């Protein structure tokens, strides 16, 4: 028999100890990995693809997500409540933005032009206080050019192009700093409903929404604003030259005053001295709205009624008292040249000329708008259990 060497006797205890230590270290590492498991992603491991040719990472991530969801669903109620309080929900935020922190929400915009370089805080050398829009065709370029030049650098200029021609306007220097929106054969009220949302025009104190066929020889925009502020007009228009393009007595210019808010009309035209068209009335060719008034009027504009007929009789719904805050500025007056350019954008149908079809649509829209307003008010008062005939306020 050979003698058992000393080295063989010592080896066995050493191997046992190594096994125990290795097992212990493995348990500890496994525990630590398990604790940090929710934030561990196999897809982030830098393992050469050749070593794991058959592993489907998407399947692994999906499996891990399902496992973690199951674990979270079994958490204690106390832990679940703590997770809920870490979520953001601000009911006063704009609709759809309730899950954002209020400090990051920007609910309003503007038409200010910005650079593509430099610091954003240094983009604007001036912030215009007013907005003027014209719905235009290139054939009226000379008239529009004369009109735009009546508005100072305090005005943002916005052109709505109904004929699809925009680049031609660059012959005018002011056109290069104007905003151009082009959609063929649309009206200014179609444009206004879609591009003049109150949150877009919020920076502007007053919004001018004008036609293209207005003579402005006797008009100055800055002076007009001064008079509107002085007399507290929320909705207004310049007086019209008495001998051209006049439909209503209310909008006729008076030479003996700065503004007027009431008039006398033909017998039977007014249901009351403080009601349109004897008061609380301006036409839709050249209206001017304060910021607050426009916020109301915009919501009243119907999406499918593009001509705006009937809107002038309903403007009084948006200011109070309307017979004082809607008026005509006589000291700054214009001429309505009645150019039938928009009518020519129609189509000949059933033997009618293009302008005839447009005019017929205008009349239909007026009736439809009146019916909708009447029905909406009736439904409101009925739901509230109110008899509007007994209310002087109505």
pLDDT in tens, the chain (394 residues): 444 443 444 444 455 556 565 666 565 556 555 545 444 443 333 334 443 344 444 444 444 444 444 434 444 444 434 456 789 999 999 999 999 999 999 999 999 999 999 999 999 999 999 999 999 999 999 999 999 999 999 999 999 999 999 999 999 999 999 999 999 999 999 999 999 999 999 999 999 999 999 999 999 999 999 999 999 999 999 999 877 668 899 999 999 999 999 999 888 889 899 999 999 999 999 999 999 999 999 999 999 999 999 999 999 999 999 999 999 999 999 999 877 766 666 677 777 777 788 889 999 999 999 999 999 999 999 999 999 877 654 4
The candidate with the shortest Cα–Cα distance to 328, out of 242, 248, 253, 219, is 253
pLDDT, tens digit (0-9, with 9 covering 90-100), for 188-224: 999 999 999 999 999 999 999 999 999 999 999 999 9
Concatenated DSSP letters for 76-145? -HHHHHHHHHTS---TTSPTT-TTS-GGG-----------SSS-GGGS-S---SEEEEEEE-GGGHHHHH
* Predicted pLDDT of residue 23: 60
| Helix spans in the chain (H) | 6-35, 57-73, 77-85, 141-148, 188-195, 221-231, 291-300, 311-314, 322-325, 354-384
* Predicted pLDDT of residue 70: 44
pTM, two decimals, is 0.76
Task: Enumerate the β-bridge partners of residue 133.
Answer: 158, 209
The candidate with the shortest Cα–Cα distance to 197, out of 110, 285, 115, is 110
pLDDT, tens digit (0-9, with 9 covering 90-100), for 153-170: 999 999 999 999 999 999
* Predicted pLDDT of residue 14: 55
CB 220 within 8 A of CB 302: no
- The CA angle 151-289-275, to the nearest 5 degrees, is 135
Contacts of 254 (CB under 8 A, 6+ apart): 239, 260, 330
Helix (H) or strand (E) holding 330: strand 326-336
CB 196 within 8 A of CB 209: yes
The CA distance from 254 to 241, in Å, is 9
């Amino acid at each position: 028999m050979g003698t058992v060497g000393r080295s063989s006797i010592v080896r066995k205890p050493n191997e046992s100890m190594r096994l125990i230590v290795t097992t212990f270290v493995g348990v500890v590492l496994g525990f630590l990995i398990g604790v940090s498991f929710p934030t561990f992603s196999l897809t982030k491991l830098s393992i050469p693809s050749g070593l794991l040719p058959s592993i489907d990472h998407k399947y692994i991530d999906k499996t891990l997500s399902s496992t973690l969801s199951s674990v979270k669903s079994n958490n204690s109620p106390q832990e679940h409540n703590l997770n809920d309080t870490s979520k953001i929900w601000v009911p006063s935020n704009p609709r759809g933005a309730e899950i954002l922190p209020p400090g990051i929400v920007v609910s309003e915009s503007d038409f200010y032009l910005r650079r593509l370089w430099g610091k954003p805080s240094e983009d604007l050398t001036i912030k215009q206080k007013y907005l003027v829009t014209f719905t235009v065709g290139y054939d009226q370029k000379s008239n529009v050019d004369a009109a735009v030049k009546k508005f100072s650098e305090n005005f943002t200029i916005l052109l709505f192009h109904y004929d699809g021609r925009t680049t031609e306007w660059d012959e005018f220097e002011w056109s290069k700093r104007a905003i151009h929106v082009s959609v063929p054969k649309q009206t200014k009220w179609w444009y206004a409903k879609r591009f003049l949302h109150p949150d877009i025009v919020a920076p502007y104190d007053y919004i001018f929404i004008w036609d293209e066929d207005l003579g402005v020889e006797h008009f100055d925009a800055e002076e007009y604003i001064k008079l509107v502020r002085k007399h507290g007009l929320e909705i207004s228009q310049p007086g019209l030259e008495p001998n051209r393009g006049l439909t209503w007595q209310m909008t006729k210019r008076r030479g003996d005053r700065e503004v007027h808010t009431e008039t006398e009309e033909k017998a039977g035209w007014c249901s009351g001295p403080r009601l349109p068209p004897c008061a609380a009335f301006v036409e839709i060719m050249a209206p001017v709205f304060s910021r607050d008034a426009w916020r109301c009027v915009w919501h009243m504009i119907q999406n499918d009624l593009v001509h705006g007929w009937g809107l002038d009789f309903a403007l009084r719904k948006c200011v109070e008292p309307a017979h004082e805050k809607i008026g005509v500025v006589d000291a700054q007056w214009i001429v309505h040249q009645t150019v039938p350019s928009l009518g020519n954008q129609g189509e000949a149908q059933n033997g009618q000329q293009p302008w005839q079809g447009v005019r017929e649509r205008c009349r239909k829209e007026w009736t439809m708008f009146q019916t909708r307003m009447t029905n909406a008010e009736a439904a409101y008062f009925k739901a509230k259990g109110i008899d509007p005939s007994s209310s002087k306020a109505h």
